[in-house]
Every structure is written in structure tokens, then in C-alpha cells.
A = this chain, B = another copy of it.
Amino acid sequence: MKIKTLIISWAFVGILAVTGVVSAKEPIDPIMPVKDINLAQVELGKKLYFDPRLSKSGFISCNSCHNLSMGGTDNLKTSIGHNWQQGPINAPTVLNSSMNVAQFWDGRAADLKEQAGGPIASPGEMAFTHTLAIEVLESIPQYVTEFKLVFGTDNINIDHVTQAIAEFEKTLVTPNSRFDQWLLGDKDALTEEELAGYQLFKKSGCVICHNGAAVGGNSFQKMGVLEPYEAKSPAEGLSAVTGKESDHFKFKVPTLRNVELTYPYFHDGEAETLTEAVDVMGRLQLGKEFTQDENASIVAFLKTLTGDQPSFTFPILPPSTDKTPQPKPFE
């Protein structure tokens, strides 16, 4: 529905945009600050997000692969898991991930809460089990007290854990990018080149998939429409979830928010630079060969999507006790 409306209002939007008039009809919406958050859950979730004791080794936390110092990613092609296993897919950014239509590249988790439980129990990632993770948390009095305070329960369960992590992740939005400043009426926020890049981004069709507040994240699309994409990853995409042949090699369209920080690109991480990513996307998805100047202007526009990064105090974790099960990094 949205896409149809977009296409119809194309020329109109374009005219408004080039003249610098801010229009409610732009296909990209500004990132809004977080509202309606449970702050106690956020504080607990922040600790859990940074706590490597949710992994078998005691070494890997959520932040290991979704590093909030680095655009909410690990900036590796594919991630490093327990025992230095090489992951099959590029770690998507956690920034603005609450806006995704579903979680993971293939959408196999409905929301952040469901997602958060995945890596903990994945043998190639944190290699733990939910039961063992809960045993660790229940052995730590400060956690027991905090879970009781936040959830009113004497027994910690994985639902509380993932709920708190998800609530923290909801705070990880990045408003106030230069592009959003422009959207919100500051016509000097973008340079001419950046604005031209945005026009080209719209005119070429990039915006058909990369739209909305997250500039993506709201649909699944086939990787390689007009030319096939030779992936380095074994991931098969949405069909792994739906079982439909027609969903084969469809992946969630990644957000382009903070894309300057979330290199390398694509689900297999094979595009090292934005220049390369724009070139490949143009050819494979749109059948377009961007000139060097066109490519550069789109890249210039994309870099205006870097917003204010989450700013928070580094959490201090409650210490283990004599009863806490020991991590097992080398077993």
C-alpha cells in the first residue's frame, strides 16, 4: 500500500524536495526519540546486554557482535562465535532495530524479545542454554533482587531476560541525523551533492525498498533481481521460515540508518565499502549502472543518515558468587 502511494506521489515529492520545501510526503520519516519506555527494564536489560555470563565461555555478550561503540555491529563480514567459530551471516545492526518488521535477516523472530533468546542458545554463537543462563543469573543476588524489583517475581525466567534486553534495545534509536534535520525543516542541513544524491536515490528506485523511518527494515526482497547474487553465505533467506520456494533468497531489507558505521554490507558482508554496495545494488536490483559521480552522490546522501549514537553509562555488572556456575571457555 505504502509503496503504491509512494510511486503515485513521486513527481510531486521530487519537486518539493529539490526546492527544499519539507513535505510530509517524503518516503523517509525522521527517527523519533523514544517514548513509553520502562526505564527499570532498560537498566536491567543494559546489564544483560553487556553480560558475557550469558554465554558458555563467559566471554561473549550481545555487545560482542552488536557493539554499541561501532554502529551496533561487529564490522566483520560474518561474526565470531564460541570457540572462534565463523558465523554464516553478517551481524545486522541493533540500532533502530525496534522498527524492523521482524528480526534476523530471514525474519525468523517476530520481535526483539524473541530475537534476544536466539544467540544465547545458538551453538555457533554464545553456545549456552536458556536453562544454564538462568542458573547463572539466579546465583547472583543482585540480579535476583533487580529482577524482583522490575518484574515482581522470585524466579527469573528467560522471558524476563529477553524482555529486559528488548526494552534496552528499544532505546537504541539514532535521531537527529543531518538528513532528519533536513526532513524537519533545516534546509541548510544537507549539501547540494547530498541532496542530489537523495534525489537520485529516490528517482532510481532505491527508495522503493529503503523507505520509512529506518530507510529499510520493513520488507523482504530478493537479493539479485535482475542479475543473480553469488553469495558467500549459505543462508537461504525467508524461505527457511515460510517454506515457500518463492521466498528463496529473500532477505529483510537492511536499514540504511547509520550505514556509514555498519560496514561491511549485505547479508554475507562481502561489500566492503558503500561505493561497492551502491554499485552492486544498482546493477542487481535496479538494472542501473551508476556513474562514478552518481555513485558518489548517493554515498554522500547515505552518510547523512548517521544519527546521534546511543549515549549511556557503561554498566557495572553484579559479581558472581561462590555458587555461580563457572564459565567453560575451553570445553
Contacts and interface: CB of A to CB of B under 8 A. Distances in A.
Contacts of A330: 86
Interface stretch (A31-39, A70-78, A188-196): A70-78
A74 B59 contact: yes
Interface in A273-288: 273-275
B315 A313 contact: no
Contacts of A71: 319
A326 interface: yes
What is the total number of copies of this protein in its complex? 2
B59 A76 contact: yes
A79 to B, nearest CB: 9
A263 interface: yes
A69 B64 CA distance: 13
A260 interface: yes
A319 B261 contact: yes
B312 A313 contact: yes
Of residues A51, A53, A329, which shows the largest number of chain B Cβ atoms within 10 Å of its Cβ? A329
Contacts of A329: 76, 80, 84, 86
Interface of A: 50-53, 57-59, 64, 67-71, 74-76, 80, 83-84, 86, 260-261, 263, 272-275, 309, 311-317, 319-320, 322, 326-327, 329-330
